[in-house]
Structures are given as structure tokens and as C-alpha cells.
Amino acid sequence: MDVVAAARRLLESGPVCDSCLGRPFADRSFGLTNEQRGRSLRTAVALADDADFESGPTADCWVCEGHCAEHDAWAERVVDAAADYDFDTYQVGTRTPPLIEENDRLLREEAGLDPDAGEAFKSAFNREVGKRFGREAGAEVDFDRPDVLALLNLERGDVDVQVNPAFVYGRYRKLERDVPQTEWPCRECGGSGKQLGEDGEEDCEYCDGTGYMYPTSVEQEIAPLVRDAMEGEEALFHGAGREDVDALMLGTGRPFVVEVKRPHRRSPDVEALEAEINDAAAGRVEVEGLRLATYEMVERVKELDASKRYRAYVATEAPLDDASFADALAELDGETVEQYTPERVDHRRASTTRTRTVYEIDGELHDSAGSDGGAVAPDAVIASRYEDELDLDAIERTGTVEIHGEGGLYVKELISGDEGRTEPSLAGLLDVPITVTALDVLAVEGEEESFEDEAYFRD
């Protein structure tokens, strides 16, 4: 291709600025800007034709209509639009008027060039405004997942700043029972806290006007404080699985990520935030290991295929000897069981049969609990929950069972049998009804290996 001849044809097409003159040749002579290429071509044509040199136009360029002279002004608009947000990375995008896109196509046609030759107006405009904005803001460009994305609308003359979420990773322990992982709106009032009564709207009797089935949740103890620390608009809680509402989460805790929408701050003091959460949760929930994370951590947490360790408190009204109990546990040790969707969750989960492995199981029996429920469960509150299912005075044996199971194993049903929905089960092998009166999650294993990659965290 005769570059000078092609440039001459472009100059003959009408007033063309140096940036638009140089863009069709952006794949030549790296190290030059499009403006420098255009000025060089304009000079080369003047020398070849022995003609007077004339500087390129700016505002009256028929291709860009003068927008290529506004890079600095647009960069300042982006700086102003993003001024309220902390960010380390950015990207700039441009909504180009249809007429300029058509002019960009005609530019190459006039030169006799391939339609995709050089660089498109939109790409060049993004880069030129972006590098100016990056220098001013002290940020780096990121084409995959920037903290902020500035969209320039050339027709309207404004900037829309889209702020991507920020993420905080940690582990939580749940130290009280009857605390769900996520907020649980009241099923009767739909979370409004109100019902229509005889005298008009009144507080919902089912939730005492709170709008929730339970007074608090792990999410409610953690997410709002993370949101406030990052000055965000909304916070979403993502856990690596979940424990039953009446189960404790102990040991090293369960991994979680809080996703904060439109944060104004991205680097809060996580140690201070951790202390604030633990102080506010007042022994109900506690967190540790808070770190700033990347968006990939959400999927990593949600897809964590971790095994779990549990402690189950059990009781039976039937006679049961230690040897039979030990034999049944030994039979389940290392066994793969089939579990049809438990009756207690059948209303919210698809009915299906799953196989899960019991890696380890062990336990011991105690004497009768007596009417005070002393050994039925670790606290009287839990014991009282089973007054309708168990005659506490008639309980023959109580015990504890510790289980290491594959992720997704229904532990309560492994013990109770769930009326034959789990096979084999401890109750089924013993041919004795067994009730799980309380459950503690002792460990979520595999987390340390799964989250050691520093690529999933931010400094």
C-alpha cells in the first residue's frame, strides 16, 4: 500500500484532523500516537507534492466533528464524575454517535483501505481519554474487571460512572442456635411486618411486627457493618454452604464473602471492621480472618466442595445397649448412603436421591436424661423444643455422635433415617427411633487449601 497516496486521498476528501488522518494507519510505525501519524502524513504529502504545509483542522473535521480535540476536557469530566469513589483500576467506554461511526467507515473507503484497517474512532477515543484520566487519578487500566467504568456519551455530553462491587472475605462462627445464615422474611406478612385486621392494618402477629421469622441472622450481624465501612449502597452475603438454623457453627468457622454494591471506599481497615462486627454481634456471631477479596472469590466460596465435621446430640425412648450402638456406628463408618430429599426441606428443594459418603463416624451413649433434659442437648432451650416428640421422663439413653461427612450429607437424617428416606441410617441399623436434639458444625474442611491463592485477594 502506498501510504502517502492513501493519505493524499483522505486529505482531498475534506477537512480531516491529524488524529482521524492517522487512525487508518495505526498498525504502522508503533510508538507514535494517531495524531503524530496524521501530522507526519500531512507533512509527507506536502513534501511529495511540493505544496505549502497547512496544519490540520480541529473543530471542523468531517470525520469526528471536532471530538478528537476534546480528549483533555472529557478526561476532566471523568475525574469529576468519579471524585466520590475510591478505586485502583478503571476502564473508559464511549457511546459514539451513529454519524461518526458512519464517517469512520467512509474514511477508510475514501482512502481505498480495508474497512477494519488501523483503529476505530471509539477505540482511539477510549484510549486517549483513558490514559489522561488514569494519569490524573493515579489508577491503572483494567479491561477485565475495573473498579470503575466511565461511559462517555458524546451526543449528550455527559459521563456515567459505573462502580463495580467490592468484596470482603472471612469466616464466621455462629454461637447461638435459632439464628439463620441469611435474613428470613416472615412468611405470613411477606416481610412487611403488617397484616390486615378487623380494624385495618396492624402488626403481624406471627412475627410481632418485625417482618422476620427470626430476630437476627448471620447476614444481618455482618453485612450491614461491611456495607457501612465501605460506604456502599447494598451488601449481599455469600456463604460456603449453610448450617441448619438450630445448629451452631464452631471451630474455624464457615467461609463467606460480603459483596458491597457501589462502594465509595474499597480499602477499609479490616482489623477494625472485624473487631466492630464481633463487638456488635455480642456473642451471637463472631468473624475472623477478614480480607479484601476479588470478585472471583464469590464463585470460589459458593462452589466450595468441602467436607464437614459435626457433633450431634441424640436421644431415644427405647432401650439401647453400648455394644449395639458401637456396632451400628462401625457399619456406617466409610459407608456411602442414599438420601432422598428430607421431608423437612422437601418444600424448598427438588425431590431427588443423592449419594453421600460418611468418611468417619464415632460416638458414645449416656444414661437417661431425666425430666430436666440434662444430657439430651447442651442447653435446656433445645431440650424443651422436643417435648412434643420426646417424653423427657421416658428417655432411656442419650448420646453424642461425631461425624466427618462429604459435603451435602444430611446428618440429621443419617441418624434418624427420616422414615426410610436415608439408607442405611443409625436408627435403621439399630431398629430404634432416634431423635437428633441438637447439632454443632465443628469444621468446614478443605477451605485452607482452596483459598490459599493470593490471586483471590486484594492488598
Q: Are 287 and 170 in contact (CB under 8 A)?
A: yes
CATH of domain 307-445: 3.30.70.3190
> Could you count the other beta carbons within 10 Å of the beta carbon of residue 12?
10
- Residues found in the chain: 459
Q: Mean of the pLDDT values across residues 161-187?
A: 94
H/E stretch holding 92: strand 89-95
Give the range among 92-106, 203-217, 247-261 with minimum mean pLDDT: 203-217
- CATH domain 3-163 topology: THUMP fold (3.30.2300)
What nine digits make up the cell of 263? 462502594
> Could you count the other beta carbons within 10 Å of the beta carbon of residue 443?
18
User: What pLDDT is attached to residue 148?
Assistant: 97
Burial class (CB in 10 A: 0-12, 13-18, 19+), 182: middle
244 belongs to the catalytic site: yes
Q: Which one, of 203, 200, 219, 223, lies nearest residue 211 by Cα?
A: 203
Is 392 or 413 the better-scoring residue by pLDDT?
A: 413
* Tens of pLDDT, residues 200-231: 788 898 888 888 889 899 999 999 999 999 99
> Could you count the other beta carbons within 10 Å of the beta carbon of residue 430?
20
The Cα–Cα gap between 286 and 155 comes to 52
- CATH domain 166-182+217-302 topology: Alpha-Beta Plaits (3.30.70)
User: What pLDDT is attached to residue 389?
Assistant: 67
User: What pLDDT is attached to residue 394?
Assistant: 78
Strands 307-316 and 166-174 turn out to be unpaired
* Tens of pLDDT, residues 74-88: 999 999 999 999 999
> Could you count the other beta carbons within 10 Å of the beta carbon of residue 388?
7
Strands 234-239 and 158-163 turn out to be unpaired
Portion of the chain with pLDDT greater than 70, in percent: 92
Cα distances (Å, whole numbers) of residue 262 to 81, 146, 169, 251:
14, 13, 17, 33
* Tens of pLDDT, residues 295-320: 999 998 988 878 999 999 998 889 99
The Cα–Cα gap between 323 and 397 comes to 13
Q: Is the pLDDT of residue 370 over 80?
A: no
Say if residue 97 is preceded by a cis peptide, omega within 30 of 0: no
**What global pTM score does this model have?**
0.85
Q: Is the pLDDT of residue 452 over 90?
A: no
Q: Mean of the pLDDT values across residues 262-280?
A: 97
- The sheet that has 89-95: what strands, in order across it? 140-141, 89-95, 148-153, 158-163
User: In the block, which residue shows the cell 476532566?
Assistant: 76
Q: How confident is the model at residue 377 (pLDDT cuts 50, 70, 90)?
A: low
Q: Are 211 and 234 in contact (CB under 8 A)?
A: no
In the chain, where the domains are located: 3-163, 166-182+217-302, 184-209, 307-445
- Furthest CA-CA distance within the chain: 113
Q: E strands of 374-414, at which residues? A: 397-405
Q: How confident is the model at residue 381 (pLDDT cuts 50, 70, 90)?
A: very low
Find how far residue 46's CA is from the centre of its chain: 59
The Cα–Cα gap between 251 and 306 comes to 14
Tell me phi and psi for residue 92, to 5 degrees.
-115, 135
Same topology for domains 3-163 and 166-182+217-302, yes or no?
A: no
* Tens of pLDDT, residues 404-448: 999 889 999 999 999 999 999 999 999 999 989 889 999 998 755
| Active-site residue, selected from the candidate residues 244, 246, 418, 440 | 244
Cα distances (Å, whole numbers) of residue 333 to 258, 380, 404, 434, 437:
37, 31, 9, 18, 22
Say how many Å lie between the first and final Cα of the chain, rounded. Answer: 49
Q: Are 64 and 19 in contact (CB under 8 A)?
A: yes
Q: Which one, of 144, 140, 118, lies nearest residue 130 by Cα?
A: 140
Q: Which one, of 384, 389, 363, lies nearest residue 374 by Cα?
A: 384
